[in-house]
Amino acid sequence: MVRGCDLWQSGEKDGCDMKPEHIETVRRSTLLAGLSDDVAAEVLSHARLRSFDRGATIFLQGERASAIYIVAGGWVKLYRIAPNGTEAVVGVFTKGRSIGEAVAFRSDVYPVAAEAVTDCELIRIEADKFLRLIQDNPGIAVSILSATFAHLHGLVEQIEQLKAQTGAQRVAEFLLELSECEAGACMVTLPYDKVLIAGRLGMKPESLSRAFAKLRKFGVSVHQNHAKIEDVATLRDYAEEDPALAWNKGQ
């Protein structure tokens, strides 16, 4: 369905006007949160809202990086294709996350490809226009560094999870990240298919299924794309437990 824009063959829709909720999301993003209202307004005056259908390519690995994207809605997958054709999921980003600033400012190529996991909306800011704004407002560079650090911190956390947590603990952590509840029971909507969730967590699909089965002991039940958590605190205790103890409990 075309949502108020002309449909491109690539699945991308361009030319949509940004609504107040889009601007609010972008202002809360790491990339622009530290800017004054005047400077942020100047940045957004050069931005475009683009909509992508599920499965549409946003950019390709090896493509020249000319723009920065901020996710305004939906989910975006970043992935690399190995020489043997295997796909490795590097990250899955949602509302408020920025993509591509580190390479766009160097006029480098994208080291990953980006694909719309769901129908999504992204704010596109041309890198050359952003660089000109930095020359006039050096404070913008601090926001760029903050966003880059946030990406690095996220990757470090992923590596830590892969090295220091069991598969079931990684799934528990993933569910807690999606949960909007601080305590008690909570219903979580899984934002994309289980094959992608497995790739995001460094697991095979069959391993993900076994992990969900193990989490039943900790009050987690999965029905289609919904996961019910009986008690958030119990699941958090398990996710943060020593992996050796968690492994034994998960058997």
- pLDDT tens per residue, range 214-250: 999 999 999 888 899 999 999 999 888 865 555 555 5
Range(s) of the chain covered by CATH 2.60.120.10: 6-162
Backbone phi, then psi, for 39, in 5-degree steps?
-70, -40
CATH of the domain spanning 165-250, picked from 1.10.10.10, 3.40.630.10, 3.20.20.60, 3.10.20.310: 1.10.10.10
pLDDT band at 151 (very low <50, low <70, confident <90, very high): low
Backbone phi, then psi, for 181, in 5-degree steps?
-105, 140
> Which run of H or E residues covers position 241?
none
| Contacts for 18 with CB less than 8 Å, ≥ 6 apart | 44, 47, 49, 72, 123
pLDDT of residue 154: 62
CA atoms of 48 and 200, how far apart (whole Å):
28
CA atoms of 117 and 1, how far apart (whole Å):
16
pLDDT surpassing 80 at residue 24: yes
| Fold for the domain defined by 6-162 | Jelly Rolls (2.60.120)
Range(s) of the chain covered by CATH 1.10.10.10: 165-250
Strand partners, 77: 92, 115
pTM exceeding 0.85 = no
Average pLDDT over residues 99-110: 85
Give the SS3 label for residue 48.
Answer: strand
pLDDT band at 47 (very low <50, low <70, confident <90, very high): confident
Q: Which residue has the higher pLDDT, 61 or 134?
A: 61
Number of H helices, E strands in the chain: 10, 13
pLDDT of residue 162: 57
pLDDT of residue 144: 66
CA atoms of 127 and 144, how far apart (whole Å):
12
67-73 sheet: strands from edge to edge = 6-7, 12-16, 47-52, 120-126, 67-73, 98-99
pLDDT of residue 10: 45
CA atoms of 43 and 137, how far apart (whole Å):
11
- Residue 29: Cβ within 10 Å count: 19
